[in-house]
Chains A and B, each alone.
Chain A
Amino acid sequence: MTPVDVWTFRREIQSDTSIGSGLVNDLVDEMTRREWPATDLFRTQLAFEEAIVNAIRHGNRADVDKKVMVEMTCGQDELVITITDEGQGFDPSTIPDPRQEELLEVPGGRGVLLITEIMDEVRFNERGNQITMVKHRSSEEPSDEDDD
């Protein structure tokens, strides 16, 4: 039976990517319970990984004394992820577009691009140390491959 309630999650973690990256598993489990399409699972997993790594590595500069707050909700048709670090913040508009010809073979700078392209809504707070990502359930039908 499909759950009709909204799952909520809120946890403060240390600046450790191995801890942070694992938190998305709970969200993926909830999406799976609600039969979200596989495409949405992969996109959400990717966006979460990029955002949590950015918060820990770039925001908190992997300072173990600094924390990252992770808040997530998942309903039947919408999920929201908010990640807040204790860093100085950044202005996302200053990140050069890595798709420019001269940057195409330069490593780095693709995390924010991926997040903005694969999530439906992405917002930063004024300081730039908090990202909120929203995903709506895709309308696509599950393929035969997903049933295997």
Chain B
Amino acid sequence: MSKRPSCELVEHESHLSAAPTPEILNRRETAAEFTSDILEMLRRESQLTELFLDLSQLTWISSAALNELIRLQTDARGLGVGIRIHRITDAVREVFQVTRLERSFRVDQADKSDDSMLEPIG
């Protein structure tokens, strides 16, 4: 019997989408469970080449969440999967800028209300 994922993961052709809540991503334990669920799916579904993280629900982001995102990106890269972060709030964007993580992540520049970023590239 498979366990219920920590966050809904939506698979569409070659990409996977997830929209974690602050409760999931900002605590170390739940964030680790979230990334573990994603990696499990990426390992299982080899056709997936891109992961879209919708952060529109995050009014703020903790360093624990940043750590998990860094780990997730490293492990996903190892599986040949790229990460795109989109629908980011101003508060979260500020944290990415302060930590300079906007340089190592693909963070879409569109406003958080712009749903067009849900469309995959290419």
Contact = CB atoms under 8 A, between A and B. Distances in A.
A50 B104 contact: no
B90 interface: yes
Given A42-B59, A113-B99, A53 B64 contact: yes
Given A105-B74, A110-B99, A114-B95, A46 B60 contact: yes
A114 B92 CA distance: 12
Interface residues of A, number: 23
Contact of B63 (A17, A42, A99, A114): A114
A107 B60 contact: no
A104 interface: yes
Contacts of B103: 104
B66 interface: yes
Contact of A49 (B59, B62, B73): B62
Band of interface residues on B: 20 to 34
A14 interface: no
Interface in B73-90: 73-74, 90
A49 B26 contact: yes
A83 B62 CA distance: 18
B41 interface: no
27 contacts: A17-B27, A39-B91, A42-B60, A43-B60, A46-B61, A46-B62, A46-B91, A46-B95, A49-B62, A53-B28, A99-B99, A99-B100, A104-B103, A105-B70, A105-B73, A105-B74, A107-B66, A107-B70, A108-B63, A108-B67, A110-B63, A110-B66, A110-B67, A110-B99, A113-B98, A113-B99, A114-B63
